[in-house]
Structure 1
Amino acid sequence: MLLLSGMTPEQLLDGQLSYYPELIRDSDTLLQILLSELPWHSDSVRVYGKEHTIPRRQCWLGDTGLNYTYSGKTLQPLAWHPRLKTLNHELNQALGLANNSVLCNLYRNGQDTMGWHSDDEPELGPAPVVVSVSLGAERDFALRRKGQSRMYGKLPLAHGSVLVMNAGMQTCWQHALPRRAGIEAARINLTFRCLANPAPLF
């Protein structure tokens, strides 16, 4: 078992977010295993016609054929790591979901970041439920309403925590992971999701 039992989430944004501050069992061990065993790599995205190396490392794992396209890139899934396959199964059972893939991001220190975005790609369907697992250094989950530039607020995501972005949240909100000075330790973020319509390779 990779999940602690009997945990009750904090409900935020009128229920659009459910936060479990400590849900992952033995999160220290899981962090070290994933740091050393996942095939982390640098990638690039196309922004306004130019290629930019993303400020983090990542990998995409999931069921066969679940290609995922964002920012002009199509990611082909790698085979499930056994720990992540088990974790996905337990999260699906606990939350009543059918997630079939996971985007893994490695933030090496406080200078690695994720810009403003919504997880609203067509492959995710009209109302995706995204389950976000945080391991390692505490970082801020920043929020703003779509169409606005001012940050609405931020939530520090603890080591071993799980944040569920419930159906409808991606329609109204954007989120980001800002830089944070003084952070030297690594953080892994696992976002489990269900691809409804796999993207073609060509």
Structure 2
Amino acid sequence: MQKSIFTPDNSNLIPFQGETKLVQDFFSKKPADYYFQKLQKSLDWKQEPIRMFGKMVMQPRLTALYGDAGRPYGYSGISMNPSVWTTELLEIKEKLQVFSGIVFTHVLCNYYRDGQDSMGWHRDNEAVLGKNPSIASITFGSTRLFQIRHYETKNHKIDIPLTHGSLLMMSGESQHHWEHQLPKTKKVLEPRINLTFRKLL
């Protein structure tokens, strides 16, 4: 059974200026195991360069972009053309759209090979996502610590363990006022797949 914090009064994980909510076990263990194995083998994983502090460096993770045809997506100085939706990604997207009421056009897939792969502090605030984008993040595989902090003050840091089969939704003004990261850790030796669904305008 899904453990949702969407309905209680304290459902929002951030105290102000946006919404970030978590659903544990959005996928139960059996389908989560299935999707992890299928996506790990079938997606077109690549290590791409990005621009950081004015320099092009290799991302410390593997990525793949899938989505509606003819609609590229760019971030951090790179532009990616989406591959055609796979059967498994469409199944996941349909379940997510029924749950959220949002029609997503793209999914940026991240493959963290172990705890040494990471994602630095950033906001998903590209203009093509609109004024107040909703980002839906689904985890398959090992549990990793996801961190959020207030963008302007760097205070109010929140630690959220993202577990196998969980869904994290960031919406409202979150991408204006809050940034997030997935830090390195020596404690995690197994891989994690993260699907970040988004809607391009």
Q: TM-score, normalised by structure 2?
A: 0.90
Are residues 1:174 and 2:179 paired?
yes
Contact 2:142 2:192 in 1 (8 A): yes
Match of 1:8 among 4, 7, 17: 4
Match of 2:25 in 1: 22
Contact 2:4 2:24 in 1 (8 A): no
Match of 2:72 in 1: 67
Contact 1:142 1:151 in 2 (8 A): no
| Partners of 1:115 and 1:148 in 2: CA distance | 17
Measured against aligned partners, the alpha-carbon deviations of 1:143-178 in whole angstroms (never above 9, x if no partner) come to: 111123456121000111000112211111000000
Gap regions ≥5 residues in structure 2: none
Are residues 1:93 and 2:98 paired?
yes
| Partners of 2:27 and 2:154 in 1: CA distance | 33
Contact 1:139 1:156 in 2 (8 A): yes
Q: RMSD of the alignment, in Å?
A: 1.5
Identity %: 35
Give 1:7 shift.
5.2
Are residues 1:141 and 2:146 paired?
yes
Give 1:132 shift.
0.3
Are residues 1:48 and 2:53 paired?
yes
1:123-134 alignment, distance < 5 Å: 123-134=128-139
Q: TM-score, normalised by structure 1?
A: 0.90
Contact 1:45 1:52 in 2 (8 A): yes
Q: How many residues align?
A: 192
Are residues 1:121 and 2:156 paired?
no
Contact 2:3 2:24 in 1 (8 A): no
Stretches (4+) displaced over 6 A:
none
Measured against aligned partners, the alpha-carbon deviations of 1:174-193 in whole angstroms (never above 9, x if no partner) come to: 00000111211000000000
Match of 1:37 in 2: 42
Give 1:72 shift.
1.0
What SS does the aligned partner of 1:189 have? strand
Gap regions ≥5 residues in structure 1: 197-202
Match of 1:199 in 2: none
Give 1:9 shift.
2.9
Measured against aligned partners, the alpha-carbon deviations of 1:80-130 in whole angstroms (never above 9, x if no partner) come to: 111111211221111110111100000000000000001100110000011
What SS does the aligned partner of 2:95 have? helix
